[in-house]
Structure 1
Amino acid sequence: MELLQILLLATLQGLTEFLPISSSAHLILAPVVTGYEDQGLAFDVAVHLGTLAAVVGYFRHEIISISSDFFRSWFNPAARSRESHLGWMIIIATLPVGVFGILMKSLVETDLRSPLVIAITTIGFGLLLLLADRTGKRQRDEYAIRYKDALVIGLFQALAIIPGTSRSGATITGGLFLGLTRKAASRFSFLISIPTILMSGGLLTLDLISSDTPTDWLSLSLGTGLAFITAYLCIHYFLRFIETMGMLPFVIYRLILGGLILLFLV
C-alpha cells in the first residue's frame, strides 16, 4: 500500500468509528473516490485493532471499575453497584448486534455495500439523529439506563450493520430518544463499542486466517498506530464539546455526503 493511502484510510477509520458519520461508508467509498485498490481484509483488521485500543485506553479506569464490580456482584449480590449495573447494560446492549451480525454477514458484504444504500442510510439516519437531538429530554446519565433501554440501544446498534448507518450515530440516536444527555449517550455508545469491535474484529480475523493473502506488516503497523491516535483524540474532543456543539454539524455533514453520493456515484 502507498503511504498516502495508509494515512487516508487509517485516519478515516480513527475519526469515523466514533463520530456519528459511519466508518464503513467512508472505507467503502474511499477506493471509489480515490482510485486506490481495495485496502484488503488485513488492513481492515489492523485499523479496527487501532480503534479498539484507543477506546479501551481512553476508558481504562471505567473498564477496570465496571469489570471488578461486575464480577464481585456475581459472588455477592449485596455488593451490586452502579458500575456492576452498567456492566450488565453493556452486555444486554451488545447481544442484538451479535445475533444480527451473524445472520446478515453475507448480505452486508454483498448487496448492502452499494452507493445507493449508503446514500439512503447516510441521509435517513442523519435526519433521525437530528430528530432525537431536538426532541430528547437529555436528563439522564448512563448509569440510569434500564434493561429495556439497553435492549433498545442494542437494537439501534444492530441497524448499524447496514453500511452508512453509523454504529455510534445509531446508538447515540437511541440514547437521545431515551432521554440520555448527549455526553451520556456518547459515553455508553463508546463503551458498547468495545465488545462490538471485538466481535467484528474476531470475524474479520477468522476470514483473514482462512485466506492466502500476503501480509504487509509495515502497512498494518502504520495503519494500527494512526487509527489509534486519531480515534483517541476523536473520543477526547468529541466528549469534551458534544454538550455545547450538539449533533447538527454531523447531520449537515451526513446530508451533504449523502447528496454527493446520489449525485456522482448512483
Structure 2
Amino acid sequence: MSSLEAIVIAVVEGLTEFLPVSSTGHMIITQALLGVESTPFVKAFTVIIQFGAILSVVFLYWKRFFRLNQVTVFEKDAVEGIGFVQRGVTFLKRFLHKFDFYWKLLIAVVPAGVLGLAFGDQIDALLENVFVVSVMLVAGGVVMLFVDRWFNKPVGDQSISWRRALKIGLFQSIAMIPGVSRSMATIVGGMGTGLDRKNAAEFSFFLAVPTMAAAAGYKLFQLIKDPASAVMLQENMGILLIGNLVAFVVAVIAIRFFIDFLTRHGFKAFGWYRIIVGGVLIALLLSGTVSNIA
C-alpha cells in the first residue's frame, strides 16, 4: 500500500466513522476500488487508524469526557457514626457515583466485546466480503429513511441510565456485521430508548472511544506479539502515523458537520446515500467490474 492509498483510506475513515454510513464498509469499498491487496498490514492499518478518529471525540468533547460527577449525597458527614459494613457500602456508592459516566460506557461496550471475542474469525471473514457490505448498506439505508418517523417522540429524561446504556450496547453489537455502521446502530438504539437525535449521536461518539480503542488495541497486541508482524509495523510506522493524523483531522470536521446536519435535517439524506452507494456497488459486483473480495 502506497502513502497516497493510505491517505485516501484514512480520509474515508475520518469522514465516515461517526456518520451512519459504515466506515468499515466504505474502507472495504475504497480498498476494492483502489485495487489494494488485503494483506495483513492493510487489515491492521484499517483498524489502527481508528485511534486517530477516536481522538477527535476526546479533542472536541474533552470537558464532558473527562468530567467526574460531583459527590453530593455521599459526603463525609454521611459516613460518621455508622458501622464498618455500612461505611463500605457508602464508599462504594460514592465511587460508583463519581465515575458514573465511565461505568455506563463500560456497560455499553460489553455486548460487542463478548461477541467480538467469540466470533472474531467469522467477523474477519465478513470484512473481506464486498457483497455483504453492499447489502447491509442498502438495508441500513431503508432503516434510515424511517427512523425519524419511528422515534419522533423523545422522552423528557435525556440522561443515560444503566438500562439505557445496556440497550444501546446491544444495538452496537449488530454493527459487527460490515456495512451496518456502528454509528447508525448506536444512534438508532439511543433513539429507541427515548433519546433525541443530538443526545443519541453524542453518546454514540462517546461510546466509540472505548469500543474502537479496545478493537484497535487488541489488533495491535495481536500484531506486536508476532515477531514478523512487529517488524512489519515498525517498517510501516510512517504510514500508520500519517493515517492516524489524517483520520483525526477529517473526523473533527465530520463530527461538527454531522451534529449540525442531523439536528436540522434528520437521517433521510444518509438513508438515500446508503441505498445509492449499496445499489451501485451491487450492480458493479454483478457485472464483474468489482471483485467481491476486498
TM-score with structure 2 length normalisation? 0.81
* Offset at residue 27 of structure 1 (A): 1.3
Say which SS state the counterpart of residue 67 (structure 2) adopts.
helix
Contact 1:42 1:220 in 2 (8 A): no
Task: Give the equivalent residue in structure 1 for 2:79.
Answer: none
Q: Do residues 184 (structure 1) and 186 (structure 2) align?
A: no
Call closer, same or farther: CA 1:144–1:26 in 2, change over 3 Å: same
How big is each residue's C-alpha offset from its partner over 1:56-95, in whole Å with a ceiling of 9 and x where there is no partner? 11221111114x659x9883636876x8544332222111
The answer to whether the Cα contact below 8 Å between 1:119 and 1:258 also exists between their aligned partners in 2 is yes
Question: What residue is the counterpart of 1:75 in the other structure?
Answer: 91
Alignment length (residue pairs): 263
Contact 1:141 1:184 in 2 (8 A): no
**Aligned residue identity for 2:50:** H
Change (3 A) 1:86 1:212: same
Residues 135, 237 of structure 1: CA spacing in aligned structure 2 closer, same or farther, 3 A cutoff? same
2:275 corresponds to which residue? 255
Partners of 1:233 and 1:159 lie apart in 2 by: 27
Match of 1:238 in 2: 258
Root-mean-square deviation over aligned CA pairs: 2.5
Query: Mapping of 1:90-169 within 5 angstroms?
Result: 90-111=105-126, 113-140=128-155, 143-169=158-184
Give how far 1:168 is off.
Answer: 0.4
Alpha-carbon separation, structure 2, partners of 1:161 and 1:144: 26
Gaps of 5+ in 1: none
In our comparison, the structure showing a higher alpha carbon Rg is 2
In 1: Cα distance, 2:18 partner to 2:126 partner: 25
Q: Which amino acid aligns with 2:115?
A: F
Name structure 2 gaps, 5 residues minimum: 75-89, 287-294
Give the superposition deviation at 1:258: 1.1
1:198/1:128 CA distance change after superposition, 3 Å: same
The percent identity for this pair of structures is 32
Which whole-Å CA distance do the structure 1 matches of 2:95 and 2:227 have between them?
Answer: 47
Offset at residue 162 of structure 1 (A): 0.6
**Separation of aligned partners in 2, 1:157 and 1:91:** 13
* 1:43 to partner: Cα distance: 2.1
Which residue of structure 2 aligns with residue 195 of structure 1?
A: 210
Separation (CA, whole Å) in 1 of partners of 2:25 and 2:112: 18
Following TM superposition, by how much is the alpha carbon of 1:198 offset from its aligned partner in structure 2, in angstroms? 1.2
Note the C-alpha offset of 1:103: 1.0
Report deviation, 1:158.
Answer: 0.4
Return the offset for 1:117. Answer: 1.3
Contact 1:139/1:179 (<8 A) preserved: yes
Q: For residues 224-260 of structure 1, give each alpha carbon's deviation from its aligned partner in whole angstroms, at most 9, with x where no partner exists.
A: 1100000111112212231102111111110011101
- The verdict on how the C-alpha distance between 1:259 and 1:220 changes in structure 2, with shifts beyond 3 A counting, is same
The verdict on how the C-alpha distance between 1:79 and 1:98 changes in structure 2, with shifts beyond 3 A counting, is: closer
Q: 1:204 to 1:76 in 2, by over 3 A?
A: closer
Shift in alpha-carbon separation, 1:200–1:79, aligned structure 2, 3 A? closer
**What letter matches 1:219 in structure 2?**
I
